[in-house]
Amino acid sequence: MEIRITKTTSPKQKPAKGEALGFGHIFTDHMFVMNYTEGKGWHDARIVPYGNISISPSAMVFHYGQEMFEGLKAYRDSKDNVYLFRPDMNAKRTNSTNKRLCIPQLPEEMFVEAVKAVVDIDRDWVPTDSGTSLYIRPFIIATDEFLGVAPSKTYLFMIILSPSGAYYESGLEPVGIWIEDEFVRAVKGGMGFAKTGGNYAASLIAQVKAHDSGYSQVLWLDGVERKYIEEVGAMNIFFKIAGKVVTPMLNGSILPGITRDSIIKVCKSWGYEVEERRISVDELVEAAQNGTLEEVFGTGTAAVVSPVNKLRYEDDVMNIGDGSIGELTQKLYDELTGIQWGEKEDPYGWRVTV
Ligand SMILES: *Cc1c(COP(=O)(O)O)cnc(C)c1O
């Protein structure tokens, strides 16, 4: 793929070493842009200075939400190598999302090449402080100027980059989770498995409700019976029950997380029995009561592994273990972040050098 490059003539001030970066509000000097036109395919790949774009108010994305996004990170090691983590998986997931949203397929090599090219141009923006990374946000929007309901014939594929802080500023911290029993996020046959804005739009109301009640995340139940565990806001969920690692199976209504897949592989390689199956909320309540609910953690690119110490369901509040970080949870966090930051062996070949 040929990528035309226009470098910025006024580079921005980079955050200082040690400065708190937070998440998702600082952007780098450049962005990747590529167009799609029916009959012509993907064309005009370019890297340009980061900035506003001009599109018509009638662009279809604004009206019916035809869009997709991805999320991954670039990590810097102590020798200034810059790595991506399993970007081929994001490329594959892009196409499974695209298929569901009637967005044209994007060749996997093109996706990975575009990510590498824009990260390379802005590699000085990959932060150096421990636990920090460069968050990468690829996305595609429908741009036809048309108010009819149909798949767009033109699209924009863009990649923007945002230096991000350690998810937990003061180290890994357990969170409390609200099991939502009124609203649902997705149903089988819907688009729960796709990474698209609409799923998030549908989730905000419960997120607000959970926050107002002092919980940091929502855990969704299945949309039909409101009985089976699905996933957390932007994370998949794992339980350690009586020594076994258990996580909801991919049933079409939950997002197939790349962190989820990695955690399953690592657990199996350590000899844990891993079950991907339906888990009812009643099973969790019972396991909490009889003391076999040993650990709970969420998994996703942003936090990697997020320990959970409290689950609220209706009138029950389940306290997990003694409220501190579970042993397996901590080991998994150390293993995965160790691989991502180039501090540990990578027996799986997951690191990709930029
Ligand atoms: C992105 C996302 C995840 C986590 O996926 P990773 O590939 O592990 O980052 C989980 N759930 C939802 C709804 C998501 O959008």
Q: What is the pLDDT of residue 274?
A: 98
Q: What is the pLDDT of residue 169?
A: 66
**Beta carbons within 8 Å of 146's beta carbon, 6+ residues apart:** 58, 60, 152
Give the position, in ligand 1's atom list, of the atom nearest the Cα of 89: 7
CATH of 175-343, one of 3.20.10.10, 3.20.20.70, 3.40.640.10, 3.40.720.10: 3.20.10.10
Q: State which of 67, 230, 236 you would mutate to test the pocket of ligand 1, scoring each by most atoms of that ligand within 8 A of its C-beta.
A: 236
Give the model confidence (pLDDT) of 31-87 as tens digits.
999 999 999 999 999 999 999 999 999 999 999 999 999 999 999 999 999 999 999
Does the CB atom of residue 301 touch ligand 1 within 6 A?
Answer: yes
Q: What is the pLDDT of residue 19?
A: 87
Please check whether the domain covering 4-165 is classified as CATH 3.30.470.10: yes
Mark the ranges of the chain whose per-residue pLDDT is less than 70. 169-170
- DSSP letter for each residue of 208-272: HHHHHTT-SEEEEEPTTTS-BEEEETTBEEEEEETTEEEEE---SSS---HHHHHHHHHHHHTT-
> Residue 89: enclosing H or E segment and its boundaries?
helix 87-100
Does the CB atom of residue 262 touch ligand 1 within 6 A?
Answer: no
Does the CB atom of residue 71 touch ligand 1 within 6 A?
Answer: yes
Q: Whose CA is nearest to atom 6 of ligand 1?
A: 257
Give the model confidence (pLDDT) of 203-248 as tens digits.
999 999 999 999 989 999 999 999 999 999 899 999 999 999 999 9
Q: What is the pLDDT of residue 233?
A: 87
Domains 4-165 and 175-343 share a fold: no
* Phi (first) and psi of residue 168, to 5 degrees: -110, 105
Q: Whose CA is nearest to atom 13 of ligand 1?
A: 234
Domain ranges for the chain, please list them: 4-165, 175-343
